[in-house]
Every structure is written in C-alpha cells, then in structure tokens.
A and B are shown apart, each in its own frame.
Chain A
Amino acid sequence: MSGEYDVAVVGGGLLGSAIAWGLGRIGKKVAVLDEGDITKRASRANFALVWVQSKGLGMPAYTVWTVRASEAWGRLASELKQQTGLDVCLQQNGGFHLTLGEDEFGQRADLVKRMHNQIGAADYKMEMLSASEVKKSLPLIGPEVSGGSYCPLDGHVNSLRTFRAFHTGFRAFGIDYFPERPVSAIGKSGGEFRLATPKGELRAAKIVLAAGNANQTLAPMVGLLAPMGPTRGQIVVTERTMPFLPHPLTTIRQTDEGTVMIGDSKEDELDDRALKHSISSVMTDRAQRMFPHLSRLNVVRSWAGIRVMPQDGFPIYDQSETHPGAFVACCHSGVTLASNHAFEVARMVAQGALEPELVGAFSASRFGGAGAANNSGY
C-alpha cells in the first residue's frame, strides 16, 4: 500500500467507484479504499432506477443535474461495455409512477403541477396519464390503477453489473482497489493526505470522501461538512419470469434477468439485518393490485438496506477550504448520477476545483453549519 496516488477515493460503492473510474479514465493514479464483505452497502441494496421524475422539488439545480446525468448515462454504459465487455442493460424508454385510487392520483397530479411551476421544469417532460393511457404502454395493469405520471427521461439499469463493471474497469485504468481498509483517520502533512487504515497508511495528493453515510464522520476530519439523515428501505424480489413490464416504475421494475423487484419503503431505522414482513406486505399488496398476475409469482428474496441520504435529501458535493485537495461527495442517487460522477465530478476533482455553475448549489454551506429537514420528496 505504499506509493503515492494522485487521488485516494474513500468508499468503493457506486459513487466512489464512478468517481475513481472517471479519474482513472483521464489518466490519474487512483487508490480506492473500501470496507469488507459485510458492511452497509447501498450499492448492493439499491433499486437501480435511472430516474428523473419528481427529483428536485425545492432545488431546481438538482433537476438540471439529474437530467444531465440521465442524458450522459448512454455514454457511460457504452464506455463500460467497450472497456469491460459487460452490458449494464441500460434502458431509458420512459418510466411510470402508478397510482391506486383517485386520492393518490390527485396527490400525484399536484406534485406534477408543483414541479412544473418550478424554474427549470422545462427540462422535465413529466406528465399525468389516465389509466386508459397507461394501459396502452402497460397492458397488464389491474383495475385499481387510477393512472399515473410518466416521464420519457426515466429508465433503469442493472446496477449490480454496473458496480462490477466499474470494479472490472479499475484494472484496465491501473486503479488500485483496496478492500478491507476502512479509513479511521485523515491527516495532512508535507502537502499530502495521510489516510489511516487497519492495514497501514496510504498517502495521496487529493482525497474524495465517498463513504456514504460515513461521510458525516469523515468530512470534519478535513474541514468539510456532510450532515446525513439515512433511512431504511426494503426490497422484495421474485423469481425470474417472462418479460411483462416494458417500462420501469418507481416501485416495480423487471430486471434484464427476468426477476421483478418491488420497493420501496422508508423508515427511520438503521439496522439493515432486520426486516419487517408487514412492510413487505404493503409493498407486495400494492404491486399485485398494479399487476394482478404478480400475485402468483414466488418471492425468492427480500432485504433491507440503509439509504445514503444527505439530511435535506439533495446531493452534497464540496471542497475543503482548510484542506485544499479534499472533496466530499454523497447523494442518495448513486445509480442515476453515476454518469455525472464518472464524467463531471471526476473531471473537477482532477482539475482541483468544483465548478460553481455545475455543482455550486450542492455545497454543504447550504446547511449553515447545522442540519436541515428532508423536504426533497424521498
């Protein structure tokens, strides 16, 4: 683990991996420090949407950032394919949020209206559709579906294969991946950062903190702030079945393998070993009301994961004033924003400064040194 690195990325999940891969792509010498086999990994627990609709209410810059990511994802997928041979199965033919009953339809319509009233909504293209309109795209919906919202920019991807593609790509870019090295302390001396791990110290000219919710603890070590408000979400997965769902939904998607994933709950709980079947029950009940044929499928797995979630729900990208060369990056949408992380954030880290016109809105200075309530809609 000796030797010097241009950049050490702390965190080998989707976010850290995307940034590291992006840095390697432009010729930087990069080390990725990661935890081991059993750890809270949102990258292994996520729902894999590349999602635009409803993102950014209360922060127009987030809408713009998300749309940019959505548009760049195709390039990321094809570069990964070219480099690693792995098809991450990106599909961006539009996505739905379905509603059950008139109340839910009304609430969703209100949200769409509020999004449209916000600056930047021109990029959005989100619209409400009646049940009969939805049925044209999703013929197997059940009679309880009252309609839903649709956004042509939405899509999904095989997020686990994306994760593997980044890690596979590390080798080709000469990136050193060090698992089982959680960082316990960070110092700066002699113009370089020193990161303490159980297996020794690693030195680098720059560091990117991409350790998910652990950023809250790491960031103050280098004069940064990352107030987090993690929540627990559950996902239920069925056996493989023939393709029936041509578009992803906010809460149901069919993977390229054929399994059906059903999400997503939100609780203020942080134990990812526990599962509440009663919550899976609500999720699956709604799923079978949306698509009645799902009721006969077998559920093969379910799990709980802890969301990486900045306290107000919006991403944090920041650079340290006291420790120049230290960056922090955390967000909930590590899948959706992977393209921005690989292309834009990596580029800005390499050049040594974040660009205010691109990510200025995401500085943690918005918290004013304290936390904030999450109004982002997650």
Chain B
Amino acid sequence: MFRRSEQDQRPPVQIFVDGVAVAARQGDTVSAALLASGVDARRSTAVSGAPRLPYCMMGVCFDCLVTIDGVGNRQGCLVPVAEGMQVEIQKGKREIGK
C-alpha cells in the first residue's frame, strides 16, 4: 500500500510483528512501520470483528490499536518503533492480562 522513498537514509530498526521480524526505520511510528512492511496488519474490531487499518494517523480515530510489548489497545500511530519491539495484531476485544 505504501513504499519508502529512496532518499530515506534513516537507520534501520528491527521490530517483530506476531513474532516475525519486520524492518522499520528510526522515527517510524508503529503504524507507519506496519503499513510500509506489506504484512497484513488488519486488526478486527471489538464490536463486530470487522477488519480495520489505521485511518487518521494522528491519534484521533483509534483504528490503529495494536498490542505493543504485551500491552493491548495502544495507539500505534503515536508510538515510535524501538529495536526488538514486539507488536501483535489485535483480534477483537482486548485480552485479559494484555
């Protein structure tokens, strides 16, 4: 859906999405890294289970919710990636203990 411009010289950062290594860049938000990665990052809603991807990328729509380092329902568009970060795509309601 999105690709990186060649002029982007930022250092790489490796994150893991559902356990699989994904290349991101320093300064990416989690949501941007997911959308650039080509992986299927669709979450499903807590109401009907409908699939969603980020909509606004500026912290207002909450369609970018992901589990980051074991904590559910984080706004992926507001959190910068960090080396080794564990991201999980959420399906439905937030799980107990996450």
Contact = CB atoms under 8 A, between A and B. Distances in A.
Interface stretch (A80-88, A126-134, A240-248): A240-248
Given A239-B73, A296-B71, A258 B46 contact: yes
A362 B72 CA distance: 49
B52 interface: no
Contacts of A257: 47
Interface in B67-91: 71-73
Given A239-B73, A240-B46, A258 B93 contact: yes
Given A258-B46, A296-B98, A242 B71 contact: no
A298 interface: yes
Given A296-B71, A298-B73, A239 B97 contact: no
B96 interface: yes
B18 interface: no
Contacts of B96: 140, 241-242, 244, 293
- Majority DSSP secondary structure for residues of A touching B: loop
B71 A241 contact: no
Contacts, number: 29
Nearest to B46: A240
Q: Which residue, B92, B96, B98, has most C-beta atoms of chain A within 10 A?
A: B96
A298 B98 CA distance: 11
A274 interface: no
A239 B96 CA distance: 12
A26 interface: no
Contacts of B73: 239, 298
A140 B97 CA distance: 10
B94 A293 contact: no
B61 to A, nearest CB: 14
A257 B46 CA distance: 9
Interface in A233-256: 239-242, 244
A122 interface: no
Contacts of A242: 92-96
Nearest to B45: A240
Nearest to A241: B94
A258 B72 CA distance: 15
Contacts of A258: 46, 93
12 contacts: A140-B96, A239-B94, A240-B46, A240-B93, A241-B93, A241-B94, A241-B95, A241-B96, A242-B92, A242-B96, A258-B46, A296-B71
Interface of B: 46-47, 71-73, 92-98
Closest 3 CB pairs of A and B: A240-B46, A241-B94, A240-B93
Given A241-B95, A298-B73, 18 more contacts: A239-B73, A240-B46, A240-B47, A240-B93, A240-B94, A241-B93, A241-B94, A241-B96, A242-B92, A242-B93, A242-B94, A242-B95, A242-B96, A257-B47, A293-B97, A296-B71, A296-B97, A297-B94
